[in-house]
Amino acid sequence: MIPDSAMAGMPIHNHLDASGYANVGQQIGAQFIEHNETIYHSSPDDSPDRMHAVARAHLDGGNPRQAEAILRTLRHNGHITTERAYFYVLSMLSDRSFTEITGELTDEIHHATSAVAAEPRDEWVDSLDVVNELLRYAYVESNEGTVDNELANALKMYGELSVDRQDEIATHLSRIVSGAEQEWLTAERKHQVATQRMSGDRIGRAWKFFEADPRPPGRWVTAPAPATAADWRDAVFGSAAIVSAVLIMLTGEITVGGVVGAALIVVGGYAAVCCTTVWRTHTRHAHSVWAHLQPQPYQQEGRFDRLVDQCFREGDPGGLWENTEGYRARLKRRLQEQYGDYDCHPFELQWLIRWHVFRVGQGIGYPAVRSDEAQRATNLRAVGVLVWVAVVSALLLVGEYGAFVLAVVGWWGISGIARLVSVSRVRRLLAQDAEVVFGDECAEHHRWCGELADRPSDVEMERWLAFDKAHLKNDALRRANLRERDLVTYVVLTERAPFARRSRITGGPPRYAAYVVYIFLLTKFGMRTTRTHLDLTTGDVRNQQHQMCTYDAVASASVMEKGVRTFRTDGSVSVGYRAGRVFRLVLLNGVCIAEVRENGRAIGDEQPGDVGDLEEDVPFMPSGGFDSALLVLEAVATEGRDWISRDRERRQRWARNWCTRPRSGDETGFAWNTGRVNR
C-alpha cells in the first residue's frame, strides 16, 4: 500500500489553467457540481421554524426574493415574530433601489412592522428601528430637508447594534441609503473588509466547495488472458502421446534401465508440472496485465475519458503523458465498465483519477508481475530443463528408446497442461491484485473525505463574495480619489469567468470559482467602469481594466434575453424559463465597455430539465441586483446627463410614497401618506 507519508504530499488542489483563455471546458467537459443539501428546501407542510430557517438561509445566501416569498407566507399565516419581521423587511429592501420600492412593498413593510409593534423590545426590534431611521433619513434627504439630526440619530442607533446586525443592514440596504449614509456605515467596516474577505481559512477551504462528493471505489478484477487453441492442442495431443508411449513400453520388453528411466521421468515430470505451472502462471499474469495496459484503437469514448486525460495532463511531472497511454486506456475502460450505467457524475470520481495520476507519477505500480515465487519457479524450471536433457541423453546412450519417447512427448504434454492450469491461478492472482488496489483506494477515499470535511457552506461562499465586491468597490473609489458621498449611485455586476468551475447547493444559486466583476461608479460628472478578474477560491484579483466616460458618450444599453413564458387562462404566468440575459453598454465611438451575462433557469414550479453540464441547464435564481443595475444603466443610456435630475425626481416621487416618523413607545414608527401615488 502507498504509505501515509507519500499521500501527505499528494496535491489536492484542482486549478484548471489555460493560457489565453484556452478552452479547458472543451478538454474535460463543462463542470457543474451539485451538493445535495436541504438548507434551501421547504414545502407548504413544513413548520414555521423550518420555513424561517430556509428563508434565513436564502437571505444569507444571496437570494432575497426567495426569502421574501417564504417570509411573506409566514406573515400572512400569522406566524410572525420580531426576528421574522426584521428579516422580512430586509428581504424586501435587499437588492432593490429606492425606485423599486413600490406601493405594495411599502404596505408590506408597514404591515410587518405593525404586527410586532406591541412586542417587548429586543435585538430585532432595535434593528428594525435602525432600518426605519435609515429609511427616514433617505426620505428627508430626498425632499431636500434638514438631514443632520436625522443622520446623527440613525448612525447613533446603528452603532449600538451588534456587528452581525450592522453587517446585515449595511449589506441589504446598500442600494437604498445614500452616499453620505454609506460613507459612515462603511467607515468602520472598510478596514475590516480586507481581512474579513480572507477569514475562515479561505485559501485552504474555498476550493473544496467546487469538489464533488467523492463516490466510494469498487473492486475491479480484470480477466486473465484466455487459454488459446495451441494450449488445448498441446495439452490434449501431448497427453495422448504420453499414454501411447506408456502403452508401448508396457507391451515391449521391460528392462531395469527402462523402469529406472520411467521412474525418473515420472518424478521429474511431477516436478516439471509444478514448476512449469507456477512459471506459466506468472508469465500469463504478466501478459494479462500487459494486455490490459494496451490502448484499444477502436475504443468508444466514454463519459470519463476527457477527465482522465485532463488529470494526467495536469499531473504530468515530465514524460508522464507519453508513457501512460496504456494505463490511461485501462483506467478509462474500468470507469466506464464500473460506473457507466449509473447516474455518476465524472467529477465524483475525480479524486480516484488524481490518486492514480499521483501513484503513477511516484513510480508506484500494481501488480508486481515479477514476484519472488515466480523467480524461484523460473530457476527451478531451468534446473529441470538441464536435468531433463541429461536424462534424455542418458536414455539414448543406453538404448532405452521407449523411455526417450516418453520423455519427449511428456514434456510436450506437461507444457500444455501447465498453460491450462495457469488460467485459474492467474484469475486468483488478479483478484489478489484487485484487493490490494481496492484497499489502497478505500484508504485514499477515507483520506479525501476527511480533507473535504470542512467544506465551506453556501453562506460562507456568499459572504466571501460580498466582501470581495465591497473590497473591489472600495479599491475603485480609492483609485478614482472619490468618496461615497461623491457618488450619485454605483452598480456592481458579476458574471462567470470563462471556463470557471461551477457548483451549488440544491436549490441555491450557482457559485463560480472565478468571476468577472464590473464596478460602475456614477458621479455628477461621468461614469467610471472597472473590470476585474476575481478568483473566489483564493481572493486573488488580476487584469483590472479602467475606463472613464461622460454620460453623453454612452450610446446604448441593450439587453438580450432568451426564454419562454406560458400563461394560464387568467393571464398569470404559468411557467417561465429564462436561458439567460446579456447586457451590453456601448459608447458613441462603438466601444463596448461592458458585456455582462446572467445565467438562467425555469422560474415556475417545475424546471424544464435536470441540471446538466450545459450553461443553459444551470438553475436560474432571479437576480434583483441584475435587474436594479439594468434600470440604472438603461436610464443613463436613455437620458444621458439628464438622468441625474431625473433620478432626483424619481427619489422625490418615492419619498411621497413613503413617510416616516420617529418611533415612540409601542408605535410602529411608520406613518403613511394616504395620497400615495402608485407607480
Going by pLDDT thresholds of 50, 70 and 90, the confidence category of residue 617 is very low
pLDDT of residue 25: 36
For cell 448612525, what's the residue? 155
Of the two residues 601 and 286, the one the predictor is more confident about is 286
Amino acid at 101: I
Contact between 80 and 115 (Cβ < 8 Å): yes
Q: Is the dihedral of CA 46, 48, 53, 58 positive or negative?
A: positive
Of the two residues 26 and 642, the one the predictor is more confident about is 642
pLDDT of residue 262: 61
Q: Please report, for the chain, the start and end positions of each structural domain, with discontinuous segments joined by +.
A: 32-197, 202-214+456-604+618-660, 238-452
Instruction: Assess whether pLDDT exceeds 50 at residue 671.
Output: no
Query: Distance between CA 480 and CA 652 in Å, rounded?
Result: 29
pLDDT of residue 616: 41
* Averaged pLDDT of the chain: 75
Query: Distance between CA 481 and CA 316 in Å, rounded?
Result: 47
Of the two residues 408 and 660, the one the predictor is more confident about is 408
Instruction: Assess whether pLDDT exceeds 70 at residue 21.
Output: no
Task: Give the mean model confidence (pLDDT) for residues 485-508.
Answer: 86
Q: Which CATH number fits domain 32-197: 1.10.3820, 1.10.287, 1.20.1050, 1.25.40?
A: 1.25.40
Give backbone dihedrals phi and psi of 519, rounded to 5 degrees, phi first: -115, 120
Q: Which neighbouring-strand residues pair with 585? A: 557, 594
pLDDT of residue 115: 87
Task: Give the mean model confidence (pLDDT) for residues 633-645.
Answer: 81
pLDDT of residue 519: 92
Find all residues with CB under 8 Å of 669, minimum gap 6, and list them: 113, 117, 128, 129, 132, 660, 661, 662, 663
Identify which of 10-24, 111-125, 181-195, 275-289 has the greatest average pLDDT: 111-125
Task: Give the mean model confidence (pLDDT) for residues 11-21.
Answer: 36
Distance (Å) of CA 423 to CA 323, 371, 379: 29, 17, 21
pLDDT of residue 666: 40
pLDDT of residue 86: 93
pLDDT digits (tens, 9 = 90+) for 421-432: 778 888 888 888
pLDDT digits (tens, 9 = 90+) for 131-165: 888 877 776 666 655 556 666 777 778 778 888 88
Task: Give the mean model confidence (pLDDT) for residues 31-40.
Answer: 79
The CA angle 563-564-566, to the nearest 5 degrees, is: 155
Contact between 85 and 115 (Cβ < 8 Å): yes
pLDDT digits (tens, 9 = 90+) for 75-87: 998 899 999 999 9
Task: Give the full edge-to-edge strand order of the sheet including 502-505.
Answer: 32-35, 502-505, 511-512
pLDDT of residue 22: 31
Task: Give the mean model confidence (pLDDT) for residues 110-121.
Answer: 86
Residue 47 backbone class (left: φ over 0; alpha: ψ -120 to 50; beta: rest): beta
Q: Which neighbouring-strand residues pair with 567? A: 573
Give backbone dihedrals phi and psi of 116, rounded to 5 degrees, phi first: -115, 15
Query: Distance between CA 39 and CA 58 in Å, rounded?
Result: 9
The whole model's pTM is what?
0.75
pLDDT of residue 141: 67
Task: Give the mean model confidence (pLDDT) for residues 357-371.
Answer: 68
CA dihedral 195, 500, 532, 510 (to 10 degrees): -70
